[in-house]
Every structure is written in C-alpha cells, then in structure tokens.
Chain A
Amino acid sequence: MTRGLRASNRLIFLLSLVGLIISGYLLYTYVSGTPIICVNSGCEQVRASDYAYFLNVPLPAYGGLMYLGIFGLSFSRTIFDERFFRKTSKLIFILTALGLGISAYLTYLEAFKIKAYCTWCVSSAVVVLFLFLISVYEVVRLK
C-alpha cells in the first residue's frame, strides 16, 4: 500500500467514525424522544417534519448503516491484501456516491420544504462529501 493510499484509508476510517457518531446520536434522540443538542431549533423542526422517517425507520438509521459499512470496509483493508483494497475502493465509491446523492436531496428538503437546517444533518452531508472525494481519489489512483 502506498503512503497516499494509506493516508486516504485513514481519512476514510476517521470520517466514517465521525459519521457513525453523528448518526448514532441522532438515532438515539429519535428513538428516545430526548431533546436534540443543536445550535438552533432546526434539528427539532427537521425531526418533527414528514421527512424524518422512511418506511417507518428514522433516517439516521440508514445513514448509520452506510457509515458502518464504510467503517467496516476501511478497517478490513488493514487486515487483507492489496487486491481487497482495490475491490473495496469501488464499493466505497458506490456507497459514498449514493450517500452523497441522498444527502444532497435531504439538504434540498431542509432548505426548500422544511425551511430549517439541522446542524447534525448538514455536518453529516459534509462528512459524506469528503468521503466521496477521497474515494474518487482512490479509484483514480488505483486505475
């Protein structure tokens, strides 16, 4: 593994961990109904909106699954060989592209439908954007 790829995997690992913490916290507040620590009332407004659940499952659960997947893949890369690294780079690219698309749509909903921003959701969107950019770097490097 080159130094560049090692650094990118470390970044992916750390960012997915941050994403996992964000979605884990949000999921906890959704399930327990406790107030969300937030810089404004946006988090509560977003949680109370019609878009907070998909198929009766809180949205942070889906985000959490995505981050967990990336987190697991990134960790596994430290155990297995370079061929595994190559394969997982495409998988991470697909996951983050999907995550970025969904995050972009959710940010659009926050801006134009709910008219309130949830700091945690926006932070998660930024995390997934960086994950996507790093995965693009990996895919290009491993071409």
Chain B
Amino acid sequence: MKIKGETIFFVGIILFVLAAFGFLFFLSRGKNSDVTTEVLVRQNSQFVGPEDAKVTLVEFGDFQCPACLAVEPTLQKLRVSYQSNVKFVFRHFPLSSHKNAFAASKAAEAAGVQSKFWKYHDLLYQHQDRWALAADPWKQFAEYATELNLDLTRFEQDYQGTATDDKVETDKKDGLSLGVPGTPTFYLNGRKVTGNYSLDFFKNQIEAELANYQ
C-alpha cells in the first residue's frame, strides 16, 4: 500500500508535537528537585508543631484561594494528628489576581505579632466568602481580631505597618525563587509533593518520611 503525502504530513505534525512535549518535559524535570531549607523556612516563618521536628511540611498558600480553602480541613486534621512530630509551616503566596489576599496575609501576620497567627489563619479561611470580594476588608479583619481578643490598636498598627508588608513580600519572593507555580504548593522535607491532597495522600507521604527517622 502506498502511503499518501497527506498522511506523511499529518504524521510529521504528530511527531513534531510529541517531540516538543518531550523537550518541555525534559526541561521541567530539574525543577522538581529538592530545595534548600534556608529559603523554604525562614527564621521568622509561621509554624506550628515542634521546632526541631524531623519532618516539616511547608505550604505556600493564599487566604483568598478556593483550592487552599478546599484543602484546609485536611490540613487541620493533619495538624492535630501529627502535632507531636511534624512541623507545619505556612508561607504567604498571595496571588495578584486575588485582590484582598495580600491584605489578608498582612492581617494574619499582624495577629501573629500577638501570637494568634494560626487562630487568625483559621478564621480567614472559615470566612473567606465574606472578606474575599469586599471593597475594603478591614472591617471584617478587625472583627476577627476582636473575636480573638487581640489588642485592636496594636493589630491595626501592625496591619498598616511595613514590617508585615516585608514579611509577606519575602514569603512571596521565596516562593517565586523556588518556582512555586500556584497555590497551594507543598514541600515535605524540602521535596515538592503533588497529588490529590487527600488526607490519605498526606498521611502516606508523612508516614514514609517519618519512617526514615525510626
């Protein structure tokens, strides 16, 4: 059977596309490698769990991101189950497309100054639909601060201050330098982990990591 020129032309296109994808895959291979702990967890990064835990799970998150909200119940369970042996770190990665995400990160950091970062973090996710699209989310942020019995004057000062700006900016820059593609992105002991982010997925990954230290 004689192969027509048109068939060869189509096969050529298929081979070209396959080659292009192969090349892209080859280029992206190196990016998933382990990253240095120095950039991944800063001295002042927000964390919960033992400071010197053998296993560290870092999340690059955005308080306005629906996917981060979706994975939050799972993370809350993990933070309880592994409170004695895993260090959970939250790094800010507010996306520019989320108009109140940066402000929310600043508010959480301002709460962090009064040692209530994680409680505030939980409230932000819990009420994401209330503040996410607000013209000025300050009213809601102040409400949550009041709910947590924070010193409101101090909270406002820190929220307006440049220190919280710098903290969030540093997190974002670190994320970008690590090649964080979006939110949420997770690193388990310096290794980027991707999957369906179910409870079982994280448990399997954490257990495998813990097993290395037994």
CB contacts (< 8 Å) of B6 on chain A: these are: 6, 78
Q: Does the CB pair B196–A33 fall under 8 Å?
A: yes
Cβ contacts B150-189/A at 8 Å (1 or 0 each)? 0000000000000000000000000000000111110000
Cβ contacts A26-53/B at 8 Å (1 or 0 each)? 0000011111111111001101100000
Q: Does the CB pair B97–A44 fall under 8 Å?
A: no
Q: How many A-B residue pairs have CB under 8 A?
A: 56
Q: Is B10 positioned at the interface, with any CB of A under 8 Å from its CB?
A: yes
Q: Does the CB pair B4–A37 fall under 8 Å?
A: no
Minimum CB distance partner of B67 in chain A: A44
Q: Is A14 positioned at the interface, with any CB of B under 8 Å from its CB?
A: yes
Q: Is B70 positioned at the interface, with any CB of A under 8 Å from its CB?
A: yes
Q: Does the CB pair B7–A79 fall under 8 Å?
A: yes
Q: Is A17 positioned at the interface, with any CB of B under 8 Å from its CB?
A: yes
Asked, given contacts A6-B6, A41-B98, A44-B67, whether A36 binds B13 with beta carbons under 8 Å apart, the answer is no
Give Cα A6–Cα B6 distance, bound, in whole angstroms. 9
Q: Does the CB pair A75–B10 fall under 8 Å?
A: yes
Q: Does the CB pair B10–A35 fall under 8 Å?
A: no
Q: Does the CB pair A33–B10 fall under 8 Å?
A: no
Q: Does the CB pair B196–A14 fall under 8 Å?
A: no
Asked, given contacts A47-B67, A78-B4, A79-B7, whether A14 binds B181 with beta carbons under 8 Å apart, the answer is no
Asked, given contacts A41-B65, A41-B95, A45-B66, whether A32 binds B196 with beta carbons under 8 Å apart, the answer is yes
Minimum CB distance partner of A21 in chain B: B17
The size class of the interface chain A forms with chain B is 20 to 34
The size class of the interface chain B forms with chain A is 20 to 34
CB contacts (< 8 Å) of B65 on chain A: these are: 41, 44
Q: Is A13 positioned at the interface, with any CB of B under 8 Å from its CB?
A: yes
Contact residue among B4, B7, B185, B201 (Cβ-Cβ distance under 8 Å from A35): B185
Give Cα A115–Cα B9 distance, bound, in whole angstroms. 42
Q: Does the CB pair B17–A44 fall under 8 Å?
A: no
Asked, given contacts A35-B182, A37-B182, whether A14 binds B13 with beta carbons under 8 Å apart, the answer is yes
10 nearest CB pairs, A to B? A35-B182, A33-B196, A78-B6, A78-B7, A44-B67, A40-B97, A34-B194, A48-B66, A33-B197, A45-B66
Interface residues, chain A, with chain B CB atoms under 8 Å away: 6, 13-14, 17, 21, 31-41, 44-45, 47-48, 74-75, 78-79
Given contacts A41-B98, A78-B9, 6 further A-B contacts (CB under 8 A): A33-B195, A34-B194, A35-B181, A36-B182, A41-B65, A75-B10
Instruction: Provide a sorted-by-A list of 30 A–B residue pairs whose CB atoms are within 8 angstroms.
Output: A13-B10, A13-B13, A17-B13, A17-B14, A21-B17, A32-B196, A33-B194, A33-B195, A33-B196, A34-B181, A34-B194, A35-B67, A35-B181, A35-B182, A35-B184, A36-B182, A37-B182, A38-B182, A41-B64, A41-B95, A41-B98, A44-B65, A44-B66, A45-B66, A48-B70, A74-B10, A75-B7, A78-B4, A78-B9, A79-B7
